[in-house]
Structure 1
Amino acid sequence: MRNRYGITVIVPAHNEEAGLPATLDALARQTAAPDRVIVVDDGSDDRTGEVAAAYGVTVIRPPRNLGSKAKAQNHALPYCDTELVLAVDADTVLAPDYIERILPAFDDPEVTVAAGNVQTRHTRTVWERGRSVEYLFGFHWHRPIQHAAGSPMVCSGCCSVFRRADLLAFGGFPERTIVEDMDYTWSQQIAGRRALYVSDAVAWAADPETLTYLRKQVWRWMAGFCQNVRLHLGRMLTAKPMLALWILLALLEIVTAPLWWATPFLLAATTSQSLGESFGWWAAAEILLTAPPLIYAARRRGLPVAGVLLNIPCVYATKAVNVCYAWKALIVELLLVPLRLSKGLTVYEKGRPAIPTAR
């Protein structure tokens, strides 16, 4: 299928020889083929560059590791001459019709960035299973509501399409925060441009398999969220109040999460209910709030409903990590950094280890 727009794919890759083939295979199968695929071999010490070259894509190598995804993407921008740029993580697999489904978003000249529905590639460990529940819930409940209100909180960096002229005018992928996707999504909406969520364009991301790497990823996400709150919230309140509402609700959820988790113990301590009864009411409320959106999401994705519901206990493991690092981010990025007692998070760490292939 011939694209109505020219589109270049940028794949930043650092030690991704194991995961990169699935990403490049998916790009090769697109029903709307990209004009060019650029892999940025960002200081890899494995065979990432050789693997990419075997696919016939353009491979560029900075003289040294650049230190973040945004910097690697910016290194590739001068090689892009198409109207659109698609940024894809080297561990993300796009559905064959991903590009075809997302291109119509740019028929509106006010749309500057769009991204699809991200789901988890694997559900082997408790952490991946918990993340799969988070994604099913978020991308079939929160994100559609935000889209309907014209203010998505983020266009996911693993599969976002950008209007190149706007990206260049902004100075490229933002490097000032640790999460470039949220920074750009908020900045453009504050400036009066549109960001879109395209629910039928599906991508599958490889998520952390272990607690060690989940902690690294969640700390980066939460610190980056709070960095963007510090940077953007003031202007957002007047320029994009609906987006500001989602941000304030997210902050409220972080602040009140420990209280909600402690509710069964508080009820048992302050009422005549036993701890078992209090926990039963709390669990029933959780299921009532969680199960209906998950059943809907499972049916939309063609997943076994029972399997999805059986993964619900796993989400409390990932939520516990989320709460811990969200509070850490609040303290570090919104309190210690303004007081000049900390520099905040500045080092970009991946949420997965490099996995060598057999030689």
Structure 2
Amino acid sequence: MSATLTVIVPAHNEERGLPATLESIAAQTVPPERVIVVDDASTDRTGEVAVGHGAVVLRPPYNLGSKAAAQNHALPYCDTDLVLAVDADTVLAPDYIEKIKPVFEDPDVVIAAGNVQTRFTRTVWERGRSIEYLFGFHWHRPIQQLAASPMVCSGCCSVFRRETLEGGFPVRTIVEDMDLTWSQQLAGRKAVYVSDASAWAADPETLPYLRKQVWRWISGFMQNVRLHLPRLVTRKPMLATWVIVALVEIVLAPVWWATPFVLTLGMHAPAWRTLGWWTGGELLLTLPALMYAAHRRRLALWRVLANVPFVYLNKAVNLYYAWKALIVELLMVPLGLSKGLLVYEKGR
């Protein structure tokens, strides 16, 4: 018998984005048994929109403060085999559930998520994020899946076995999706990346929102490093390898970015030559994956390439907050000089 599934949509002031999300859920070729929207102390029409789309609406007596807490509020109302957590600004492909359900025929699989891309490419920040997603979901994720060690099942569209959520979505870190992905693999269970299941997320349109989101994401990554890395090294060494590589990239990124200036100013090399060498290295590392991604997503290659320059704005933001999170979460927190990031702020 096919596994049953409940969709949980945590929502705080999501009147604008929620209709498209609920319409995409209603259009699934394999429909869920129930759709629950947690209207987490919204001050707009979020609850009315959800009711109008036929969802079961839960209204906590006060703002719960995070996505994980809102999802936990809905868990007692879930009696299905699977739970699909969807962000209130994420749109699923019509066959998302159909594509992702079969992986749970393996009893060891407890969490799975699909390929996430950007819904909009209107601002420079969205255009830069589109390149990050195209590269990450068509290069990093497939390699990690081949090694049976995905770094994260994206929280905007992850499916979980209900029995693994008996203790609730974890609130000990600021990013529950990565925490669950790592902790379940440490427990000997499987997390799976399903490349054919597609979803589109609305990403930050402005720099202030991007900064909030990146700070939360990277702080959460560092919190999970502090919490899980020692055990990953001994129990899940391949996943530990991806984590360590990510940390090394953060540490060495300033060196790579400074190389053209060092060679030009310190070694008096021609500026055009050093910049050409640096740019060539960047393109060699990114273009093949982007060309493949454009082919897989059926995107015009010229449109993808036109967005490449904007990714460096995003990378600059990422690098600043990566170093900040490294210092705060991996140095200051263990020394008792900071409590780390504890307050969940929306990135959009």
Q: Same fold (TM over 0.5)?
A: yes
CA distance in 1, matches of 2:328, 2:269: 38
CA distance in 2, matches of 1:269, 1:55: 61
CA distance in 1, matches of 2:164, 2:42: 30
The one-letter code matched in structure 2 to 1:298 is A
For residues 111-126 of structure 1, the aligned pairs below 5 Å read 111-126=109-124
Q: Which residue of 1 aligns with 2:322?
A: 326
SS in 1 for 2:117: strand
Decide which of 177, 186, 192 is 1:190's aligned counterpart: 186
CA distance in 1, matches of 2:216, 2:175: 7
| Alignment partner of 1:297 is 2:276 | no
Residue 272 of structure 1: CA displacement? 4.5
For residues 165-180 of structure 1, the aligned pairs below 5 Å read 165-168=163-166, 171-180=167-176
Q: Which residue of 2 aligns with 1:238?
A: 234
CA distance in 1, matches of 2:115, 2:54: 28
The one-letter code matched in structure 2 to 1:180 is E
CA distance in 2, matches of 1:30, 1:54: 18
After superposition, give the CA deviation of every residue in 1:101-148 in whole Å (9 maximum; x if it has no partner).
000110100000000000000000000000000000000000000000
The one-letter code matched in structure 2 to 1:261 is W
| Alignment partner of 1:260 is 2:274 | no
Q: Which residue of 1 aligns with 2:333?
A: 337
| Alignment partner of 1:317 is 2:313 | yes
SS in 2 for 1:85: strand
What is the number of equivalent residue pairs in this alignment?
348
After superposition, give the CA deviation of every residue in 1:337-356 in whole Å (9 maximum; x if it has no partner).
0011101000101111xxxx
Q: Which residue of 1 aligns with 2:71?
A: 73
CA distance in 2, matches of 1:75, 1:275: 58
| Alignment partner of 1:350 is 2:339 | no
- In structure 2, stretches of 5+ residues that fail to align are none
CA distance in 2, matches of 1:40, 1:30: 20
| Alignment partner of 1:12 is 2:24 | no
Residue 31 of structure 1: CA displacement? 0.2
Q: Which residue of 2 aligns with 1:60?
A: 58
CA distance in 2, matches of 1:95, 1:55: 18
SS in 1 for 2:125: helix
CA RMSD of aligned residues (A): 0.8
SS in 1 for 2:220: helix
After superposition, give the CA deviation of every residue in 1:77-121 in whole Å (9 maximum; x if it has no partner).
000000000000000000000000000110100000000000000
CA distance in 1, matches of 2:291, 2:302: 9
CA distance in 2, matches of 1:296, 1:271: 37
Decide which of 4, 9, 34 is 1:36's aligned counterpart: 34
Q: Which residue of 2 aligns with 1:23?
A: 21
The one-letter code matched in structure 1 to 2:250 is I
Identity percentage of aligned residues: 72
| Alignment partner of 1:104 is 2:131 | no
Decide which of 26, 45, 48 is 2:46's aligned counterpart: 48
Decide which of 144, 147, 162 is 2:145's aligned counterpart: 147
CA distance in 1, matches of 2:197, 2:251: 33
CA distance in 2, matches of 1:176, 1:18: 30
Residue 332 of structure 1: CA displacement? 0.3
SS in 1 for 2:37: strand
Q: Which residue of 2 aligns with 1:308?
A: 304
CA distance in 1, matches of 2:255, 2:271: 16
Residue 267 of structure 1: CA displacement? 1.5
- In structure 1, stretches of 5+ residues that fail to align are 353-359
Decide which of 114, 127, 130 is 1:129's aligned counterpart: 127
CA distance in 1, matches of 2:130, 2:5: 30
SS in 2 for 1:311: helix
Residue 271 of structure 1: CA displacement? 3.3
Residue 237 of structure 1: CA displacement? 0.6
The one-letter code matched in structure 1 to 2:244 is L
Residue 160 of structure 1: CA displacement? 0.1
The one-letter code matched in structure 2 to 1:217 is Q
CA distance in 1, matches of 2:270, 2:175: 44
CA distance in 2, matches of 1:64, 1:225: 28
CA distance in 2, matches of 1:272, 1:158: 48
SS in 2 for 1:139: helix
Residue 74 of structure 1: CA displacement? 0.2
SS in 2 for 1:262: helix
After superposition, give the CA deviation of every residue in 1:221-251 in whole Å (9 maximum; x if it has no partner).
0000000000000111101000000000000
CA distance in 1, matches of 2:231, 2:161: 23
Residue 167 of structure 1: CA displacement? 1.6
CA distance in 2, matches of 1:100, 1:267: 53
The one-letter code matched in structure 1 to 2:68 is A
The one-letter code matched in structure 2 to 1:114 is A
Aligned structure 1 segments of 4 or more residues deviating by more than 2 angstroms? 269-272
